[in-house]
């Protein structure tokens, strides 16, 4: 896929940020995420040639982005350190590119490499300004024009300053302004008061769960492979009914059911250590949005990381089938209420939990972990800039033993992007338990 950059510039907020808002404090939850960019790509079909806005899409997007940055002003600042963001209106990177193929080339082969469509590499979270050597740009955008008239708008948001919920609501707000909205609700909440930052230097190599023993992000290379599993709505309904106890006392959610069946297949696929240094996946880490779990709930659109990955182990489960796995996942989620959140993060108790977790993995070579990051129910498919909703949304973030769940366009199914070592993936693709509910590598 040939992609040619045709322009690159910096977009600044439409209105300057007031002096009293120039410093945005980072919270403990912001400190706990890996220093990477969250990449997102929204694919749009060719628009109506009679729409006058299509004659200057570039200017149209830049002006609305500038207005959006006024509301989400930390995104236009610079990350100084692991404590603060300098909201200096430095601006965000805006790239335009021409793609020498039709968009169908990507949609028919969803697993094709799409890094060229991104404004920056997800794992290259480093200074990008000419005037500073120690600050990071939180946001970058690339608009890709396909030969067929289709378009892909990609965004990379620093994970340090926002999670998937923050990213989705920023995109939705930007799109609303592009459609002519007078105002949007951009909530810049000081979560550092709820989750005070801490000194995490001794935990730095473990932070976020995506790093190796040297503190570097382990990204896919020749030894890793990523596959896309499609669970359509009817299959998920059948799976939920199968896992449920039949007494209406417990019926798993869509995500609990899919997580359980994937985890069961992962346990089977990694059961026999082949000498590659990997361990069977007997523990999983589930990323949860904590906004609605607080009392009172925090606004869904507030920026920052108001989410947390909680580990669940199957070591004490005698029969590791999907039903039992779904139940322990459900119990873990129910346990994460306002009292648990405040006790764990306000007091700093999470640091003790992290230390114990690190010790457990160092002592038990047979305990492998897989990270699930669920982006379902976030409004990515509602991001309409004026030419319709996206036909497909993708999060092209690939890291070993990490999986991403995103909604299908109809909101009923789930796409699961799973990354494993090649030998592990070869076994996963043959697991009958997962093949009964999922299809590998379908086109859009």
Enzyme catalytic residues = 159, 384
Query: Which pairs count as long-range contacts for 426-435, CB under 8 Å and 24+ apart, including other chains?
Result: 427/268, 427/269, 427/270, 428/227, 428/265, 428/266, 428/269, 429/227, 431/265, 431/268, 431/269, 433/261, 433/264, 433/265, 433/268, 433/322, 434/229, 434/261, 434/262, 434/264, 434/265
Answer for the pair 136, 128: CB distance below 8 angstroms, yes or no. Answer: yes
CA distance 131 to 10: 14
3-state secondary structure of 239: helix
The count of other CB atoms within 10 Å of the CB of residue 7 is 10
Helices (H), 371-442: 422-428, 432-435
Kindly state the tokens that stand for 65.
């982005």
DSSP structure class, residue 342:
I
Query: Which pairs count as long-range contacts for 312-318, CB under 8 Å and 24+ apart, including other chains?
Result: 312/283, 312/284, 312/285, 312/286, 313/282, 313/283, 313/367, 314/263, 314/267, 314/282, 314/283, 315/282, 315/283, 315/367
- Among the listed residues 74, 352, 344, the one whose alpha carbon sits nearest the alpha carbon of residue 194: 344
Answer for the pair 200, 82: CB distance below 8 angstroms, yes or no. Answer: yes
- Among the listed residues 295, 323, 294, the one whose alpha carbon sits nearest the alpha carbon of residue 307: 294
CA distance 177 to 217: 36
Q: Which residue has the tokens 């993060």?
A: 345
Kindly state the tokens that stand for 167.
């990213």
- Among the listed residues 110, 417, 376, 394, the one whose alpha carbon sits nearest the alpha carbon of residue 262: 417
Helices (H), 152-296: 164-178, 233-243, 254-269
Kindly state the tokens that stand for 312.
């669940």
Q: What are phi and psi of 143, to 5 degrees?
A: -105, 120
């Amino acid at each position: 896929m040939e992609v040619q950059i045709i322009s690159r510039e910096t977009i600044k907020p439409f209105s300057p940020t007031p002096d009293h808002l120039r410093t945005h404090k980072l919270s403990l939850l912001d400190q706990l995420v890996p220093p990477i960019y969250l990449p997102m790509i929204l694919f749009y079909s060719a628009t109506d040639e009679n729409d006058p806005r299509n004659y200057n899409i570039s200017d149209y997007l830049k002006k609305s982005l500038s207005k959006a940055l006024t509301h989400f002003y930390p995104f236009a600042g610079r990350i100084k350190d692991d404590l603060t963001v300098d909201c200096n209106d430095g601006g965000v990177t805006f790239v335009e590119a021409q793609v020498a193929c039709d968009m169908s080339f990507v949609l028919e082969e969803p697993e094709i490499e799409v890094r060229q469509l991104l404004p920056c590499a997800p794992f290259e979270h480093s200074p990008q300004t000419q005037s500073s050597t120690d600050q990071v740009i939180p946001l970058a955008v690339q608009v890709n024009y396909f030969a067929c008239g289709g378009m892909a708008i990609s965004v990379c948001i620093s994970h340090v300053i926002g999670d998937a919920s923050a990213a989705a609501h920023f995109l939705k707000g930007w799109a609303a302004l592009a459609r002519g909205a007078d105002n949007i609700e951009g909530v810049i909440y000081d979560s550092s008061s709820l989750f005070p930052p801490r000194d995490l230097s001794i935990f730095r190599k473990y932070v976020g769960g995506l790093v190796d023993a040297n503190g570097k992000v382990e990204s896919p290379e020749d030894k890793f492979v990523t596959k896309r599993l499609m669970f359509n709505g009817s299959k998920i309904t059948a799976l939920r009914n199968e896992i449920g106890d039949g007494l209406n006392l417990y019926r798993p959610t869509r995500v609990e059911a899919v997580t359980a069946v994937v985890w069961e297949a992962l346990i089977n696929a990694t059961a026999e250590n082949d000498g590659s240094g990997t361990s069977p996946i007997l523990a999983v880490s589930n990323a949860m949005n904590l906004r609605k779990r607080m009392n009172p709930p925090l606004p869904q659109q507030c920026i920052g990381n108001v989410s947390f990955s909680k580990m669940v182990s199957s070591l004490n489960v005698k029969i590791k089938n999907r039903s039992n796995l779904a139940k322990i996942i459900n119990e873990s989620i129910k346990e994460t209420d306002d009292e648990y959140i405040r006790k764990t993060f306000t007091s700093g108790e999470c640091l003790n939990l992290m230390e114990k977790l690190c010790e457990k993995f160092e002592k038990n070579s047979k305990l492998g972990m897989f990270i699930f990051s669920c982006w379902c129910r976030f409004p990515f498919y509602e991001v309409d800039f004026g030419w319709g909703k996206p036909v497909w949304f993708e999060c092209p973030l690939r890291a070993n033993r990490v999986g991403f769940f995103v909604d299908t366009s109809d909101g009923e199914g789930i796409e699961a992007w799973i990354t494993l070592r090649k030998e592990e993936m070869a076994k996963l693709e043959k697991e009958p338990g997962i093949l009964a509910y999922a299809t590998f590598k379908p086109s859009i």
